[in-house]
């Protein structure tokens, strides 16, 4: 059971044989394959590139046929998005995402401890219970949530979203944290307990620092899903608690086809998660597989 995150390291360490393997294909074939890969990647990325380009256009350039690849870039659309009140939506999204992620981590750490290091009986059943709630279609619970939230007067309240996003990401986080806890050598924890450290101290001083990278990648996954969530936001918020995805929808419906402005709003909406994902590519794999793939 290795602790290192291994993605490319094996080939880097045993550098000789893979290099020889590649030479076999011949220089021309290899170059052609590289070119093919690049073209494929650019084609696949094209919609994103197009969105970014469009966001720097004037509306007239955006809705042109044939499409304009060269134009005078402008920041007008970004200005317009902020003038239309993007700040409020962004703030709501930040609250819903950050607070729910913190809550998820606080709840998931002890729970993961109880299904890995000092496991309760029927650990597997507990784990399957958690993941089975991920399979519960949200649409099957939205009606009671809507009705109850209405009775409690918490419709269009950002804390309702915080609560729901916590519930949405918690099962995932328990699974992920468990996989990180399982990599902590038992001897270290036993040694701490021998020295008379209490459970809380062991957790705080020994365990948490050791799994800090794991906590970071769990948080990353929670942030991605909370930031992008649309269904709850659509049904449970209106003017006050609306988040960024709602901003996009209202840009689309209220402004008609203002393509460039919509693109600018889309770029702004996607940017935080895209940047986070780019930076933490390796953690992404483990998070998406709920900790199963290291």
Partner 1 sequence: MSTSTGAARTGRPRKSRAQAPRRSDAWQRRLPLLPALIFTIVATQIPFLITIWYSLRSWNLLNPASDVFVGLSNYIEIFADRTFRQVAMNSVIYTLGCVLIAMVLGILFALLLDRKFLGRGVVRTLLITPFLIMPVAASTLWSVSMFNPTFGLVNWFLGIFGIPAVDWTSSHPVVSILIALVWQWTPFMMLLILAGLQSQPKDVLEAAQMDGASSLQTFFFITLPHLRRYIELSVLLGAIYVVNTFDQIYLMTAGGPGTSSANLPYYIYQRAFLGFDIGQAAAMGVVVVIATIIIANFALRLIFKGFMSTEQN
Compute the least distance from the CB of residue 167 to partner 1, in Å. 3
Smallest separation, CB 12 to partner 1 (Å)? 9
Nearer to partner 1, 75 or 143 (CB): 143
Tokens of 39: 């073209």
What does the H/E/C string look like for 213-229? HHHHHHHHHHHHHHHHC
CB of 1 to partner 1, least distance (A): 8
**Residue 97: CB minimum distance to partner 1, A:** 12
Residue carrying structure tokens 């992920």: 176
Nearer to partner 1, 132 or 240 (CB): 132
Map residue 256 onto helix, strand or coil.
coil
Least Å from the CB of residue 89 to partner 1: 12
| Residue 44 tokens, joined | 């696949």
Phi, psi angles (nearest 5°) of residue 83: -65, -30
Residue pair 251/261 in contact (Cβ under 8 Å)? The answer is: yes
Residue 48 or residue 208: which is nearer to partner 1 going by CB?
48
Our CB check for partner 1 shows the closer of 88 and 119 to be: 119
Nearest Cα neighbor of 169 from 242, 96, 110 is: 96
- Least Å distance, CB 49 to partner 1, is 9
For residues 3 and 289, which CB has a smaller minimum distance to partner 1 in the complex?
289
Radius of gyration of the chain, Cα coordinates, nearest whole angstrom: 24
For residue 73 the two structure tokens come to: 């870039």
Name the residue nearer to partner 1 (CB basis): 88 or 294. Answer: 294
CA gap 44, 49 in Å, rounded: 10
Closest residue by Cα to residue 226 from 287, 155, 148, 163: 163
């Amino acid at each position: 059971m290795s602790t290192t995150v291994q993605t490319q390291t094996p080939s880097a360490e045993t550098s000789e044989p893979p290099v020889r393997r590649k030479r076999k294909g011949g220089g021309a074939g290899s170059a052609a394959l590289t070119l093919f890969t690049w073209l494929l990647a650019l084609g696949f990325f094209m919609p994103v590139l197009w969105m970014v380009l469009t966001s720097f256009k004037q509306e007239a350039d955006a809705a042109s046929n044939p499409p304009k690849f060269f134009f005078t870039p402008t920041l007008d659309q970004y200005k317009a998005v902020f003038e239309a009140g993007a700040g409020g939506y962004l703030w709501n999204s930040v609250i819903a995402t950050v607070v729910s992620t913190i809550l998820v981590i606080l709840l998931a750490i002890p729970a993961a401890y109880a299904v890995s290091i000092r496991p309760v009986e029927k650990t597997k059943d507990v784990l399957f219970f958690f993941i089975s709630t991920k399979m519960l279609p949200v649409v099957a619970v939205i009606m009671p949530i809507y009705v109850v939230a209405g009775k409690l007067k918490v419709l269009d309240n950002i804390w309702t979203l915080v609560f729901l996003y916590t519930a949405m990401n918690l099962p995932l986080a328990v699974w992920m944290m468990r996989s990180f806890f399982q990599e902590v050598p038992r001897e270290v924890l036993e040694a701490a307990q021998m020295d008379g450290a209490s459970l809380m101290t062991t957790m705080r001083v020994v365990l948490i620092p050791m799994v800090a990278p794991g906590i970071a990648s769990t948080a990353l996954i929670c942030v991605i899903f909370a930031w992008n969530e649309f269904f709850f936001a659509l049904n449970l918020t209106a003017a006050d608690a609306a988040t960024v995805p709602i901003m996009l929808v209202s840009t689309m419906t209220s402004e008609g086809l203002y393509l460039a402005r919509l693109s600018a709003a889309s770029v702004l909406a996607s940017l935080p998660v895209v940047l986070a994902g780019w930076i933490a590519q390796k953690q992404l794999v483990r998070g998406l597989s709920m900790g199963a793939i290291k």
